[in-house]
């Protein structure tokens, strides 16, 4: 049995689609299917019901799911412990996050923290799919922090006594697509739908992208066809530019393309999804390096609040 088989199984259980899971794991679909079959052969039982769409876990699959997650977490934690030993004398902070946040938010954010921290190395993991896997990694000390997009109305269902969070910033996810030959948006919401709307997202439960909740509540009567999925916004942007479908993407990421006309809005501004960028930690992780980094974040939050309320800055009268 190989650990990569377990990671394949975990992602497939989240996405429910072999093709999308294979893309997420950066392997061909035939190779991905063979690895799932190898895992099933090793455990001597079918784990996936392939007759349903999206695919579902069998009873054996549901039983094995927490076991697989625990094995992966344990292996990753052991790897992290070894790396910690190798990094003796150096401080390392481990994050899990979306590929998009890793690309467009974290470089500037980490740069802003450099004067206040002496961390030697940052490790960023973008392989986790759903919220449960991110929080499981936190709980099992596989990562130190999770950074994600949070739609304030969505309840995560996590035990608030186990995790703490801080607001790092805000972003808006903008519905975008390319234009047709007449220069009009290829898709427009809600519009007069005559066929399924091609969308560059899949819709697994507990996704760290808060798009499913918005689509279910705002456009629940429309028929969306998922044609591609990636946790990396630059990939989704490239697919949208090529006309494969529409997507909700961070305004920061598509500002230039909207200005140049490579992308256009696929809905009104009122349909933007306003999200918070939040960082989470496990309250059971008392490692000094983690506590020290969290203290820096708390001090940054306090400093930002004082700046916001400074009458010399916001013009209020004391």
- pLDDT per position as a tens digit, 230-275: 767 888 899 999 999 999 999 999 999 999 999 999 999 999 999 9
pLDDT of residue 268: 92
State pTM to two decimals. Answer: 0.67
pLDDT of residue 310: 47
pLDDT of residue 313: 37
Report yes or no: 35 and 7 within 8 Å, Cβ to Cβ: no
Which of the two residues, 76 and 314, has the higher pLDDT score? 76
Structure tokens at 262: 């490579």
Q: Scanning the structure block, which residue is given the tokens 């500002």?
A: 255
115-117-118 Cα angle (round to 5)? 110
DSSP 164-191: EEEEEEEEEEEEEE-B-TTSSBS--SSS
Phi, psi of 57 (to 5 degrees): -80, 140
Contacts of 54 (CB under 8 A, 6+ apart): 15, 16, 17
Which domains can be identified in the chain, with CATH numbers? 1-86 (1.10.10.10), 170-275 (3.40.190.10)
Distance in angstroms between the alpha carbons of the first and the last residue of the chain:
67
**Mean pLDDT confidence for 114-129:** 86
- pLDDT band of residue 202 (cuts 50, 70, 90) is low
**Mean pLDDT confidence for 181-204:** 82
**Mean pLDDT confidence for 198-215:** 73
Query: Is 158 a residue whose pLDDT tops 80?
Result: no
pLDDT of residue 315: 38
DSSP 9-28: HHHHHHH--HHHHHHHTTS-
47, burial (CB in 10 Å: exposed 0-12, middle 13-18, buried 19+): buried
DSSP 75-103: HHHHHHHHHHHHTTT--EEEEEE-HHHHH
Please write the tens of the pLDDT for every residue from 39-97: 998 888 899 988 877 788 999 989 999 898 888 888 887 877 776 665 544 578 999 99
């Amino acid at each position: 049995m190989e650990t990569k088989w377990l990671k394949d199984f975990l992602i497939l259980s989240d996405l429910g689609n072999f093709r999308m899971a294979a893309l997420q794991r950066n392997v061909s679909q035939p190779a991905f299917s063979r690895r799932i079959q190898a895992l099933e052969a090793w455990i001597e039982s079918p784990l996936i019901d392939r007759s349903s769409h999206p695919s579902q876990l069998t009873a054996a699959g549901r039983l094995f799911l927490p076991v697989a997650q625990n094995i992966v977490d344990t292996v990753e934690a052991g790897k992290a412990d070894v790396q910690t030993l190798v990094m003796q004398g150096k401080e390392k902070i481990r994050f899990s996050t979306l590929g998009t946040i890793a690309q467009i938010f974290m470089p500037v954010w980490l740069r802003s923290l450099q004067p206040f921290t002496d961390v030697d190395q940052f490790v960023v993991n973008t392989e986790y799919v759903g919220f449960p896997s991110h929080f499981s990694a936190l709980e099992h000390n596989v990562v130190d922090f999770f950074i994600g997009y949070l739609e304030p109305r969505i309840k995560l269902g996590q035990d608030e006594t186990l995790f703490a969070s801080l607001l790092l910033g805000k972003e808006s996810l903008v519905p975008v697509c390319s234009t047709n030959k007449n220069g009009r948006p290829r898709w427009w919401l809600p519009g007069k739908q005559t066929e399924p709307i091609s969308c560059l997202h899949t819709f697994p439960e507990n996704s760290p992208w808060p798009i499913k909740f918005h689509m279910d509540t705002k456009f629940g009567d429309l028929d969306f066809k998922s044609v591609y999925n990636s946790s990396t916004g630059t990939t989704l942007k490239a697919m949208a530019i090529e006309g494969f479908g529409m997507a909700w993407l961070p305004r920061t990421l598509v500002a230039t393309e909207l200005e140049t006309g490579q992308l256009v809005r696929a809905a009104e501004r009122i349909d933007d999804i306003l999200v918070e960028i939040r960082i989470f930690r496990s309250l059971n992780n008392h490692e000094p390096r983690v506590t020290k980094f969290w203290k820096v974040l708390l001090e940054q939050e306090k400093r930002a609040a004082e700046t916001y309320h400074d009458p010399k800055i916001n013009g209020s009268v004391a």
